[in-house]
Amino acid sequence: MSDACFHHICEVCGKDEILTPDEAFTAGWDYPPRMGHFGVISQRVCPDCLMTSSAWWAIAMDGYTAEMLSDRQRAAIARILAEPESLALTADDED
């Protein structure tokens, strides 16, 4: 699994990098499988962004309900719940 590349999408700034789990962990991404678990709501942030801006933080720490989340946060949650398939590479990524 550690050799497989997949999209790492920061839910805060939108950065999208194709990395292995080990590369992502070394670079500082908060992303499964090295940080957390696929399909479980937790922060998905790049090394430049803070988890305090994540959907997880809004729900767990600030007490937001689904109705209070932004469209961006709802999209991040939908992507997280569909992992790992939602992060899979496509033919367009092979360039």
| 71: CB partners within 8 A, 6+ apart | none
H or E stretch covering 54: none
User: What is the tens place of the pLDDT at every residue in 3-61?
Assistant: 899 999 999 999 999 999 999 999 999 999 999 999 999 999 999 999 999 999 999 99
pLDDT at 27: 97
Rounded mean pLDDT, 56-70: 97
pLDDT at 93: 82
Q: Hey, what are 60's tokens?
A: 């767990």
- Please determine, for residue 70, whether its predicted confidence score (pLDDT) is greater than 90: yes
pLDDT over 80 at 1, yes or no: no
For the chain, which residues make up each domain, given as ranges? 6-85
